[in-house]
Every structure is written in structure tokens, then in C-alpha cells.
Chain A
Amino acid sequence: MTKKEIKELRRLEKQEAKSQSGGGSGAAKWIIISLGVLIFVAFFGFIIFSIKKEKDKPIVLSSAGYVRGDQNAKVTLVEFGDLQCPACKAYEPLVRQASQEFNGKMKLLYKNFPLTTVHPNAELAAKVAVAAGDQGKFWQMHDWLYDNQDSWADLAATDARAKMVAAAKALGMSTDKLNIDIDSSDTSKKISQTMDEGGVVGVSGTPTFFVDNVPMSPLPSNYEDFKKVIAAEITAKYK
């Protein structure tokens, strides 16, 4: 084919395409394109805008959870914790030491945040702790679960449960009531409440700490740094 012939062919193709597109729809076409672009920009712009707005909102944590220490303490250390999470266990001594050191000025508010996808027994542990809470022994159970995490973490659910219930019995709880409470919808509701709250305020892993609604980030790696954050807030509140 010569160049001229190719050119001619292209011209014919173009013409054909034009006639196929249905001539009179020129205006409609542009209206649709502009509407499409407009909706596209508005839609994804709206999403980005909403996210920005949501992020700028100051965090206000609820009082849901379990308090350890003086109720009237002005500073609250909030922990979103997973009872099966090794990192939470590792932070447990720091939390306990801080609770002791700042006794009366700081209270700990523990919120269950079981990472159910990675820790198969985490939800069960949270349920047992909450059920123990119904008998006024949340903290005894909480401490036992962290202290003995290795002994139940890798067990099958039924074995882990038997072990926890036995421990609860040793701590002086009624096992009948405990078993009922573990399976009650009220218990699940309490856990999902703090899980949802954690999700809303951006908790993605455990432990996540907040000191009076301000997230502790990055997570301090030693007690000195951990203490410093709390001490600063205490100085501010007890001026």
C-alpha cells in the first residue's frame, strides 16, 4: 500500500466512526462527560474531605472499661489491651509500676481490644476477664491471664477455657456464675463496645496507650520514657 492509500483509508475509517457515533449526540456527550468528571471529583473529594475532618476531631475516650487505682485521680492512663498479646504482657510490668508510682494521681482504665484474627484465644480471655468483673474480680483475672499467658495462649479453646475457669475458682469465684457470664450477650457487648471505640479512635494494634485522651505514640520502649509522658500530664493537672 502506498502512503496515499493508507491516508485515504484512515480518512474513510474516521468518517465511518463519526457516522457510527450517531451525529446529533454531540451536546449530550459533553454534558455527560462534564457531569461524570464533576461527580467523580465531588465523590472522591467528599471522601477525602470527610476523612480529614474526622481526623481533626479531638479524641474523647469513654469511661467504658475497668478502672484500677484511685477513682478520683485526675490523670487517666487508658490501655487498649489484648490479653493474649505478648507485647501487652511485656508492657504489663511498666503499667503496674506506673500505677504504683503515681498512686492517687493516676488511674488506669483498661479497655479490652482482643485482636481476634491473630490471637485465637484473645476474645475468650477477654470474656473470662469481663465475667470475672461481674463478680468484682476483673483485675485478679486480668493479672492471672497476663502472668500465665504462656500456659493458655496456645491451647485449644475448650482447654484454654477450662484452665481459665479453674484459675478463677482458685481466685475465689463461683464457676457456675462465671460460665454463664462468659457466654452471656452482655459480656460480648461490653467487649465489642471497647473494640468499636478503639477502632474509631485509631487503635490498630495492642497495646495502645492514651494519657488523658492523647495517644502515646510512638510507644515508649522503656519505663523511663513511659513514665515521663505520664509525669508530664500529672504536673500539668496538679499544678
Chain B
Amino acid sequence: MDHASARIVVSAIADLVLIAQIFIVFFAILLFLRKLNKKNKTMNNIVQLFSDNALIFSFFIALFAMSGSLFFSEIAHFVPCKLCWYQRICMYPQVLLLGIANLKNDWGIKRYVLPLSIVGIVIATYHYILQMSPIPLPCSDEVANCALKQVASFGYITIPLMSFTAFALIILMMLQIKKK
């Protein structure tokens, strides 16, 4: 396939990631403001909404992340490097884990999803630093170059940053469960 379809896939997913990042920032501000003013009803309600439906939100985040990464490799034909594969290993099972947890209403899934996401976000962070730093960090792969920035939308959104955003969102959602 050609660059035209790759461009379409990249720009659409990058837009979505940007929205997700804006959401993370707003949600973090919201959580902070709520700490200052614990009695504000609207803020409590919004946080409560995400807390109550954290499993559903997380499921969709994982589903979007998996589909997005599959679109990158299967439709845009970007070859996933080793680090990409490790991140995929941390993300793909979450679709099933969270999907089944939603059906069974199993909130204990947090104990499994959180470690997966933390490992994933650490790898994504390493991968992003590797791409952005002028000093190349070690990553040898005969198939695909980890340091290669296949896309950089808005000047900073590369694929590992997309993965970072998805893991961050899932972690954020999982942490809301505790606050019940």
C-alpha cells in the first residue's frame, strides 16, 4: 500500500491521540481542583462517572489502541520494531481482560491490568526517549529500526507516544477505581 493511505491512518489516529491527551490534562486538573474543594458537586459527579464506568472506558481505550496499532502495521504497512512488539504484548491482552471483566463486572481486574499498563508505559517512555534523544539508546533490531520516527504528527506525536497516551489513560482509569 501507499503513502496516501498511511497518511490518512496516521493523521486520523494522531488527532484522536491529541484529544486523548487534552482529556488527560483536563482530568488531572479536575482531580486537583477536587482535592482543593471537596464539596463541589459537579466535579464529584464527573469523577464519579468515570470511576463508575472505568472498566468500560478502559476497554474502549484498549480496543482503540489495538485497532490503531493494527491499522499502522496492516494498512499503513509500518513494520513494528521490537519495542513496539513489547508494547503490543502489554496492550492486546487488555482488550480481552477488560472485555471479560466488563461482562462479569469484575473490578478485581485492576490488579492485572495495572501491572500490564505500567510495564507498557515504561517501555513506551523508553521508546519515546530513544526516538527523541540525540544520543541513540541501545535497541538492535534487524527487522525495523526502533529509532525511526515513522510519523511525527504535530511535531511530537510519534507511535510510542500514542502507546504512552493509551497506557496513561488506562492507568488513570484504573486509579479511579481505588477511589470508590
Contacts and interface: CB of A to CB of B under 8 A. Distances in A.
A55 B71 contact: no
Given A17-B105, A36-B60, A199-B2, A22 B12 contact: no
A18 interface: yes
Interface residues of B, number: 28
Nearest to A52: B5
A32 B71 CA distance: 24
Contact of B56 (A18, A22, A32, A47): A32
Contact of A28 (B3, B49, B107): B49
A46 interface: yes
A57 B112 CA distance: 47
Interface string A33-72: 1001001100110110011001100000000000000000
A55 B5 CA distance: 8
Contacts of B4: 51, 54-55, 199-202
Interface string B73-108: 001000000000000000000000000000011110
Interface residues on A, range: 20 to 34
B2 A32 contact: no
Given A46-B12, A50-B8, A199 B3 contact: yes
Summarize B's interface: helix, strand, loop or mixed. Answer: helix
Contacts of B28: none
B54 to A, nearest CB: 10
Given A17-B105, A25-B52, 17 more contacts: A17-B106, A20-B105, A29-B52, A36-B57, A36-B60, A39-B60, A40-B60, A43-B16, A47-B9, A47-B12, A51-B4, A51-B75, A55-B4, A201-B2, A201-B4, A202-B4, A203-B2
26 contacts: A17-B105, A18-B105, A20-B180, A21-B107, A25-B49, A25-B52, A28-B52, A29-B52, A33-B56, A36-B56, A36-B57, A36-B59, A36-B60, A40-B67, A43-B12, A44-B71, A46-B12, A50-B8, A51-B4, A51-B5, A51-B9, A51-B75, A54-B8, A200-B2, A201-B2, A201-B4
Interface of A: 17-18, 20-22, 25, 28-29, 32-33, 36, 39-40, 43-44, 46-47, 50-51, 54-55, 199-204
